[in-house]
Chains A and B, each alone.
Chain A
Amino acid sequence: MRLGVLFSGGKDSTLALHLAAEKEQVVCLITVVSKNKESYMFHTPNIDITVMQAEALGLPLISVVSEGRKEEELADLESAITQAKNKFDIEGVVTGAVESVYQASRVQRLCNKLDLWSFNPLWKHDQKALLETLVEKNFKVVVSGVFAYPLDEKWLGKQIESQVIERLVTLQGQYGISPSGEGGEIETTVLDAPMFYQRIEILDSAIEAKGGSGVFQITQARLVSK
């Protein structure tokens, strides 16, 4: 089955891509670049790096810019998926949804409207186990946004590894945060993964932190042979 992956460049959509490619044919990536930093639907920090990630993966990228107004985002997503259907003959769409009924049901409705299959291979999976899978499979993932107390700017740019996972699980017990950031507490950016033909090297970055939130912005990067 020819599939397009809704791709934000974060850990969930990249892991969903990895799992989908093990069983079906992934033919393109689909990204909605939301201008709204508080988008309900779309991951925002470092979204521009999806262009470089697509090149690293050797997959074509369909990218649509959205103003990020709540329901207009859906029309923009529909436009992007329709382009993928017309250009790459996709038969289905893959998302990295884990817990969000809000996100998953909106994509399901769009796919139903466009007569496409919808797959959520991470759906309802244990969040700690998902993070551990990333480490086991040698994904290089950095924290690119924090949006909930007690996460602060010290987390920004940190690579997801065993000690970081343990700390996040501890914070889940103490503060009720979702360890994988499913509630929007954390956003991530993937720099390398098993399907990447090249890895991303960060040359320059900036931290923008204010109040209880912050973003690790990759300002300059390049692709490096693996």
Chain B
Amino acid sequence: MILIIDMTWKNDSLAFDEFVLPIVSVVKPLEKCAIKHFLEVNPQLLSECSKIILSGTALKDHATLRQVDKFSWVKTFDNPILGICAGIQTIASVFGESLTPCLQIGMEEIATQKANPLFKGHFKAYALHNFSVEAPTNFEVLARSAKCIEALKHKQKNIYGVLFNPEVRNQTILENFVQSS
């Protein structure tokens, strides 16, 4: 089962339909999935997941970044994780990296820096964020745009993060994550 974590500021928020449901619509036809708000995640639920996707959220929503302590499980979870937008920001914060102001709204050119199972080459993707991330210790850069790092991976674990929103114009990236071994 793949767990899709709602990273919006509250359970059943108005941003849920915009940032979580489009991910569900890609994942659900491929694999059984569960959807939980980030405040509802618990050890029992984590033990039942084969993979986890952390959603993005609205531009003004920084709820997860104020509650990074709720994501300490990211360091000990052994299966693949993909963080999208607020998801990668939160993962970077969990691993001790601070965020840098960087506004991107709209389509951006992304260039792959390192071969990986999720994407390759140059492509355009939809971005919506106020902050970019630096690579924490033990992470490598998978992709960049002209402005900032766009994708990261932990060097030893299958923890991925993308700053753009693949559910908008790059659903194949989500499919590749779901189908990757």
Contacts and interface: CB of A to CB of B under 8 A. Distances in A.
B96 to A, nearest CB: 28
A163 to B, nearest CB: 26
Contacts of B14: 1, 19-20, 23-24, 94, 119, 121
B106 A105 contact: yes
Interface residues of A, number: 25
A122 B19 CA distance: 10
Given A101-B169, A117-B60, A108 B18 contact: no
A125 interface: yes
Tell me the interface secondary structure of chain B in the complex: mixed
Interface residues of B, number: 23
B103 interface: yes
Interface string A112-152: 10011111111111100000000000000000000000000
Contacts of A105: 105-107, 126, 128
Interface of A: 1, 19-20, 23-24, 92, 94, 101, 105, 108-109, 111-112, 115-126
Interface of B: 12-15, 17-18, 21-22, 25, 58-61, 103, 105-107, 126, 128, 130, 167-169
29 contacts: A1-B14, A19-B14, A23-B13, A24-B14, A101-B106, A101-B107, A101-B168, A101-B169, A105-B105, A108-B59, A108-B105, A108-B128, A109-B105, A109-B106, A111-B59, A112-B130, A117-B59, A117-B60, A118-B59, A119-B14, A119-B15, A119-B18, A119-B58, A120-B18, A122-B17, A123-B17, A123-B22, A124-B167, A125-B17
